[in-house]
Structure 1
Amino acid sequence: MNAIKIPLVALLLSLAAPALHASVIAIYSFDAQNGNDASGNNNHATGSVTYSTSTPFGDGYAYSVNNNKLTAPHTTSSGSTTGFSDISNNLSVSFWINTGTTGNADWFRIARKGAGGTTSNHWIINRNAGTADTNIRIDSGETNPTGYNQNLAQNAQNVLTNDWRLVTYTLSYSTGTTGTWTEYLDGASVATGSFIFGNGLANTNALEIGVSGGNWIGLMDDLGIWSNALTAGEARSIYTLATNSLFNYDLELVTQLHTLHTTTTGTLDLNGYTWSYTDSLSGSGFNPGDLYFDSISSQWILQMTATTGLSAVPEPTRAVLLTLALGSLFLRRRRQRH
């Protein structure tokens, strides 16, 4: 969401950086003051809406929700682009929210793909009645009627608190009649449970962001949608990378770091640091998704599992650029004296 300030040499080095995570469907950063999909999949959303400079980090733009909405049509995967059709068994949705004045509608819709129904495979992220909590609702088709109107993650979390909070929901299914869900708040897992899978999550409805079946007034930023269930390390890393001032946060680049960890090969040059896969981490004192400085190795470590993660070291080119800059400054001063 923030502008990336990377030296030209670092940009050239990053041409071989990992692509966005293969399961990314769409990323709505709103930084260009529109609903364009920043993932490269062209799942753009449109609508007559406004944007605000009040963001989680005082940089870029956020979507200002005030009786308006953005709509992205259903898309199918084709060639190198990934569409909403990839959402079937698994789903992750992550977003920053600041509700401000929440309006009068108890069950206002934050985002949804389908309006819900007894024979539908829809998912909806709601304000939970008239509370400060949010929840995700699943309708999983008529083959299992009890799958209708499953309001998950109703656990009295203070999410809508008139300040910025990061909310992430993951849904996972492999076999049997039920799947599992997890809710993360500011990167921490706060609740988990099961849901009735039924016909699954696939549908051809448009994605609606903001007002859709209930009005609310507030702000939203960096909405990401994936066709897989993010791991605990991936979900938490979004928050830890976003709140560490050393790095210029951008959800698109976070997904590249996720890819780097998944593939275990290659490097990613970001903000003057070279990231690479590492294993044999102790994990002692750290949780998956934590970012910390290891004074022994002089590396930043992004712990992704109990034993694996990513290490970041200063790019060698930074020292070269600094030497050149100092040399140029010295020459200019000598010329000024003669």
Structure 2
Amino acid sequence: MKKKFEQIVPFIGLLLLLILFSLIIGGKFWKTNNLLAIFNQTVLIMIGGLGMIFVVAQGSVDISQGSTLALVATLTGIVVNNYGLLAIIPTVLLVGGLVGLINGVVVSKFKVSSLTCTLGLLIAIRALVAVLCQGTVIYIPFELFAFSNFNILFPTFIGLIISIAYFFEYTKMGYYSKIIGANEVKAQYSGVPVGKMKILAFIMSGIMSGVAGVFTLSRIGGVDPGMGNFFELQVLLALFAGGIPVTGGTSSKIYKLFIGSLIVGILENGLTLANVSGVLAEGIKGIVLIMVVFITMYHTNSQMREKTI
């Protein structure tokens, strides 16, 4: 009974959030344009989460996602202006994959904590983006705006969810990632290629950050050095609010990411409609993240104590 209740807590949180903003904002919250805005915001968070979930399932974290998003978007803006739309896919795969590869190698081979490694890369990439932008906004060709069209975004989004959900839930990479998060030492002794799985997880996170960067670029029409700020905060909040433990493990599920992404998307939209200032809104999300992490850690520790009794 206790376990079932814990599983429905994110759904209860989502319902309460809908009721709260419906009461505060009124009918404006349920208008078609606003629901579409929530969808667009949720899609970006979900895309980032589809990569981050492999990392978090292993008990690690990638806080370089926002800077990777900005770097891929910046380079995409540059190459598309020079070589056309066909350059988008290799840019996303190469740049996003390279950032993930660096993170994965440093974490797995040099035993640097994922927080320290990705924080360092975040700072370095932000500096690189500032240099590439040279203090100006890089604008994109009109054709790239098509990627933000609902008729293109929705099927692409559904395709990504289905393919990566299958990959995470039914292949060795997803299974191994959960096993590593549950007990890395035991996984290693069981023959799981821990180092390889960590590298692949960070590569996946980098590539999906790049995909989110392209969709963000197509939506706003240009790149500036501050693009993607706090994106990793949104993704982590979605993962943890959806019920995925901070320590990862076998409780990591795609449906939890989906629920968490809706929670964060609705929270951001509601704060905007309620005219909450940007700084205060980020502060509220930060407090919510701390609360969610505290609750999940408390729950995890309680489970561990029960197993030892």
Normalising by structure 1, what TM-score?
0.31
Whichever of the two has the greater Rg, that structure is 1
Larger helix proportion of the pair:
2
Larger strand proportion of the pair:
1
